[in-house]
Chains A and B, each alone.
Chain A
Amino acid sequence: MGAPLSSQDIGRLRQAALLGLARASLSVPASLQPLVAAASPAREGVLTVLAFAGQQQRFQRLTLQQAAQELPDAARHLHADARPIMPEPARRALLRLANGVEKSSADAVLSAAARRVVGAGFRLHPFDLPRLIGHIKADARCLGLAERAYLSLAEHSTTADAPGLLQAEITPANWTTFPKGHRAAFLREQRRRQPAEARKLLEDVFKSEPAAVRGDLLAALEVGLSSDDLTWLESLGADRAESVRTIAAGLIASVPGTPAFTTRLAEAARCFARSSVGGILSRIGLAGSAAVFKPPSAATGADRFAVLTKLFDGLSVAEVATAAGLTRNDVIAALPSDEEAVHAAFANRAVRDGDNATMMDLASARLASVEARFWPVHTMAWLADNLTEPVSVEFAKTWLNSASLQSAQQRFEQADTPASLKDDGTLVWTAALLPAAMLPTFISMLAPLPPAATRAARDFADLVLALETPPTQPR
């Protein structure tokens, strides 16, 4: 049977319906006139015409008269990443973690998880990127070619905005095509290995960059800073942007070997001195000459934090220890756990140098403090964010036996309200930090605890263990 209405009929009926039959009268096509004439009440005739026209329109509108856009470059690169996609069991664990982790710490935890995936040589499954990218996109360490390509696709950025996003890796030849954050991270990495070459890379493009980019890239020179950098840094005293001049001046003050630096280091070293303890312990030979921390006299009252920050800024534990004639461990042991400014300065320097051992030593000292027994989360999160590999087995053993962790376990065992059943981060950050070999021990410690508190930690542990397990059948 042929269609009862022609395209023109449908067009006219549709037009009348859109305008309103009160204004545009309905012209009934000849093929439907007998039906309409027989209809009672009269409105049934109109409805019959509507039903016919609407239904026939549904059949006529089956294909799309529109061309697709050309496939974006980013889409090609999304699937051209040479890294294998993460194994399916690890993928399931990661998605469980994404669904179960506390919202307040989701970005940090999922970035740490993504770094474990990347560190194991895998990439995230492309189908999971819509779920995860919002959490990890701020952390360049999580973003390989596929993740950057997806970001480019999802945020509709064009290759003109940041063509480097679609490069397989950032190199000295293409680093200027990457976004600012990636470039700064690259420069820091280069500085750790070849400081002079890295500075040269920056020098070559410096003048052509806008002030904000110049400032951020210049700050990356703090890694591997030496007297070789002085000449160029001093030339930046004439930069047109005040922010750049300020950063350059700060760097000059931190160059080892300069008089300003040497004076500051000596003053910092004087804060750590061996003190011979008097009294009965000394008389019976039990008192050692432990190092103690004694801040300079100017560091008092409200200015204490600012003075110590300025004094210790950019100094490493090793530099201070050498200048004070102490060992690294002496300095860390002498530093009171509540001396935030000095801790922060040492920690920042250790992060800058990628010095995992000092980071762990500083964290150990803080985690052993009385305060940390009730609130170790910040230290754990900091470690997880900055270490370039899991903690050492020794650190892991110490932490698993620590009073802090036992105190957290007791809290969860006694938890009796939904709020207290939530992991404050202690457990999930523990899972994030531990080496795979220590995870089975940790999982067995979680067994007696309420599932609500341990879910994210277990999922993180499952993820790490699944990444370690070789896939049974590669796709």
Chain B
Amino acid sequence: MSLTKDKIEQLAPDQASLGAALKLMKPASWPTLAQDPGAALLWGECQGSGATPYRVIVSPDDVGYKCTCPSRKFPCKHVLAVMWMHCDKPERFEQGPSPDWVQDWLSRRRPKGAPRPRTDTKADIADALRTGASIAAALDEAVEEKPLDPKAAARAEAQRQRLREEREASVLAGLDDLDRWISDQLNLGLAGFAQRAAQSAKTLSTRLVDAKAQGLAGRVEALAADIYRAPEQMRGDLAFERLAALSLISSAYRNQERLPPPLKADVRRVTSWSVRREELLADSEAPRLAGDWIVAATRSEIQPDKLRRLETWLLHATPRDAAPAVALLIDFVPVSGGPASSPFIAGETLAGEVVFYPSATPLRGQLATRSPARANVDWPAFPEGLQSALAAYEAALARQPWLDYWPLGARGLTVERLSANQLALADAGGRLLPLERAQTDVLTPMLGLKPFSALFTWDGWAASLLAADTPIGRWHEG
């Protein structure tokens, strides 16, 4: 083993990285920290600001490393933290066989002794020019971080309060704009809404961003695309329902003090106010669910605001009641950072605790702890047919009236063809739910399969299959 603090200092791209690494050395930040028996490989999972942990691998012998975080610094603070912890507290590293994602990296990396591409020359020069990032200095800086004095703390709190009030006023003004815009659309008529939606919604969305109602701005901006995606004969109805939902959100926000706390949390989050991961994990009231999870699906979508939205859908392997227990982890990464995907592989399993954001319909969450799942994680038992699934959707819609979509599970389903370009989920009772047209190609092989069990989202218009347990194996989106 050749990792020393000197070597870590040489590797660190700058002093700030060492300082950041030091802050990451709390055990709570590392749900997984392990090494193989000879300590030839170290790996860990660090819970960053995203919903999914970053995966870090270090090969101490040749100081090779890999981290899934989007940092442009090499090595990043996560890699430095793993190296540093291994120097200082090797006992924190459990011993065991390396998981698949470590093996995968190992099998694909440039072997020891192989020449590095000349593209690294600049990095080598930068290495040579580095001027002494120091662990001692990082420790000193950490010690120097003294608590604020009470007066300063009070001033800071007052400042935060003033900003909150300003933001509330700004959001309310944004809601006035929204109401006025919806009224205008109603006056003009929704039959022609699809033609003017893109420009009109874009203008309003910009104003909502200025009013600090980013959540609503995103909904409004997505409106035009959603309506274009719908079949032409349904666009009027879709616009009618979507504008009704926006109006409902606006009204609910103005009257939020009369709402039950979970629904109040929903309307604040959907409008403007986000909850930080640390706040969520510290919230003892937030719903939690631990156990084995199947990564049912991963999705990646570029949003109009140039952020890539990475969704990871987790399905609890043993739900407490008949309805599926599903958690949705969402990460946002800048598109400019290049291709990115969920760190999870659809179909893999894990054990852990998910903390859900307070909501009348808890779905989005954060992974608080993480460990390997049991060897064989079975697909959960869903209720037969679509009727109880639709009842679950109806109940969720009643709890949260502006619900976009809701995950449902059912068994005894087949895929049927509605038209040349559209498939549907069907049950033995003849109930049909049309599937997203975008999934027609990938789901065509399910035509003719014997009944299977499926997890899908339903928004009242179309189902979107997330995963299925079929007689010829599991199907996962992603």
Which residues of the other chain, B, contact A75 by a CB distance below 8 angstroms? 447-448
Q: Find the A residue at minimum CB distance from B432.
A: A64
Q: Is B129 an interface residue (CB 8 A)?
A: no
Chain A 50-85 interface mask (CB, 8 Å, partner B; 1/0):
111111011101111011110110011011000001
Classify the interface of chain B: helix, strand, loop or mixed: helix
Given A19, A69, A421, which contacts B191 in the complex, CB threshold below 8 Å? A19
Chain A 22-55 interface mask (CB, 8 Å, partner B; 1/0):
1100000000000000000001101110111111
Residues of A with Cβ closer than 8 Å to B?
Answer: 14, 17-23, 43-44, 46-48, 50-55, 57-59, 61-64, 66-69, 71-72, 75-76, 78-79, 85, 88, 125-127, 129-130, 150, 153-154, 156, 413-418, 421, 447-451, 455, 458, 475
Q: Find the A residue at minimum CB distance from B468.
A: A127
Q: Find the A residue at minimum CB distance from B419.
A: A69
Q: Give, as a whole number of angstroms, the nearest-CB distance from B219 to chain A.
A: 14
Which residues of the other chain, A, contact B107 by a CB distance below 8 angstroms? 458
Q: Are A50 and B445 also in contact (CB < 8 A) when A22-B188, A69-B416, A127-B472 are?
A: no
Among all A-B residue pairs, the 4 with the closest Cβ atoms = A54-B244, A20-B189, A75-B448, A416-B118
Q: Are A153 and B447 also in contact (CB < 8 A) when A18-B240, A127-B472 are?
A: yes
Q: Is B182 an interface residue (CB 8 A)?
A: yes
Q: Is B237 an interface residue (CB 8 A)?
A: yes
Chain B 303-326 interface mask (CB, 8 Å, partner A; 1/0):
000000000000000000000000
Given B111, B186, B401, B424, which contacts A55 in the complex, CB threshold below 8 Å? B401
Those of B238-266 within 8 Å (CB) of chain A: 240-245, 247-248, 250-251
Check if A50 sits within 8 Å of B191, measured CB to CB.
no
Interface extent on B, as a size class? Answer: 35 or more
Check if B240 sits within 8 Å of A130, measured CB to CB.
no
Q: Give, as a whole number of angstroms, the nearest-CB distance from B434 to chain A.
A: 6
Check if B179 sits within 8 Å of A450, measured CB to CB.
no
Check if A17 sits within 8 Å of B445, measured CB to CB.
no
| Alpha-carbon gap, A324 to B93, bound state (A) | 76
Q: Are A50 and B424 also in contact (CB < 8 A) when A130-B445, A150-B444, A447-B111 are?
A: no
Count of chain A to chain B residue pairs whose CB atoms are closer than 8 Å in the complex: 172
Q: Find the A residue at minimum CB distance from B434.
A: A64
Q: Are A62 and B393 also in contact (CB < 8 A) when A17-B186, A43-B180, A413-B115 are?
A: yes
Which residues of the other chain, B, contact A85 by a CB distance below 8 angstroms? 472-473
Check if A17 sits within 8 Å of B444, measured CB to CB.
no
Q: Is B226 an interface residue (CB 8 A)?
A: no
Q: Are A451 and B241 also in contact (CB < 8 A) when A22-B187, A78-B445 are?
A: no
Which residues of the other chain, B, contact A130 by a CB distance below 8 angstroms? 441-442, 444-445
Given B118, B191, B401, B431, which contacts A63 in the complex, CB threshold below 8 Å? B431
Given B189, B237, B247, B426, which contacts A47 in the complex, CB threshold below 8 Å? B247
Q: Are A153 and B183 also in contact (CB < 8 A) when A51-B247, A413-B115 are?
A: no
Check if A43 sits within 8 Å of B179, measured CB to CB.
yes
Check if B182 sits within 8 Å of A71, measured CB to CB.
no
Q: Give, as a whole number of angstroms, the nearest-CB distance from A377 to chain B.
A: 22
| Alpha-carbon gap, A66 to B234, bound state (A) | 14
Check if B448 sits within 8 Å of A55, measured CB to CB.
no
Q: Can you list 5 A-B pairs, Cβ within 8 angstroms, ordered by A?
A: A47-B250, A51-B245, A78-B445, A130-B445, A153-B447
Q: Are A69 and B241 also in contact (CB < 8 A) when A43-B179, A44-B179, A154-B441 are?
A: no
Check if B251 sits within 8 Å of A51, measured CB to CB.
yes
Which residues of the other chain, A, contact B189 by a CB distance below 8 angstroms? 17-23
Q: Find the B residue at minimum CB distance from A451.
A: B108
Which residues of the other chain, A, contact B445 by a CB distance below 8 angstroms? 78, 126-127, 129-130, 150
Which residues of the other chain, A, contact B242 by a CB distance below 8 angstroms? 54
| Alpha-carbon gap, A156 to B447, bound state (A) | 13
Q: Give, as a whole number of angstroms, the nearest-CB distance from A200 to chain B.
A: 37
